[in-house]
A and B are shown apart, each in its own frame.
Chain A
Amino acid sequence: MADINIGKKEKNNTPVLEVQGEVDIYTAPKLKKEILSLIDDGKYTMIIDLANVDFMDSSGLGVLVSGLKRVSPHDGKIYLIANRPNIIKIFNITGLDKVFEIYANIEEIAN
């Protein structure tokens, strides 16, 4: 499954998943695995950086929504970073831009 790379780091003690590549029905399970791994470790608030995602369909959205459903009961949050027009568009046309907090970069979240 080489069409997606997911790096992990922390920003102010919040885990950050840096996703690079294309998120579709083939690669979305890898993103889901990383999100679930954080949740299993008790990390219910996280940042998912989609700034280097070239393409995403609703397989990716499904994974993000599923993650949000799992962290919400723990007062957790999933912050998204997205700045590519095609990625922002899929959130807009599905109405998920009102469900997720989407920022242009990681500094905006800190502010």
Chain B
Amino acid sequence: MQTLKKSQIEKQIISLKIPAEVSFLRAVRLLITAQLRLRSADEVDLDDLKLAISEFLARAFEAEIVGEYIKIDISIEKNLVDIEIGDFEEFDPKKLFASPYLNFEAIDTLVNNFEIEALEGSLVKVKIKKSF
């Protein structure tokens, strides 16, 4: 019988506040990868999640809707990861991902859920769910 490690059972919550610099994107991908590998996440699921997050943040930087810092809350429980990323100026996802290369529909196929939640004022945060 396989015994699950404590880290695989408990809910994990990780909160980050990083400078809004593109050089930090790799660190975000590495952290998420390391945490989900601890829970034996499938590599394909990991790749899809990393691509969705990186793609969104890259487009957010290009559209200049980021503030001075980016807040990332990662919650992992069982085989589900919830990631909330904020705060951004309000944006239209169809326009943000208007690039012919990876559009919003393509991003949406990579994760279980990608939604935008309004915050106070004109700010929003992005909520991404991915099962693995």
Contact = CB atoms under 8 A, between A and B. Distances in A.
To the question of whether A and B form a pair in one complex, the answer is yes
Nearest to A56: B51
A3 B47 contact: no
- Do most interface residues of chain B lie in helix, strand or loop, or is the interface mixed? helix
Contacts of A59: 58
Interface residues of B, number: 21
Interface of A: 3, 22, 24-26, 55, 57-59, 61-62, 65, 85-86, 89-90, 93-94, 96
Interface of B: 22-23, 25-26, 29, 44, 47, 50-51, 54-55, 57-58, 61-62, 99-102, 106, 109
Q: Which of A22, A25, A86 has the most CB of B within 10 A?
A: A25
Nearest to A21: B26
A55 B90 CA distance: 28
A94 B106 contact: yes
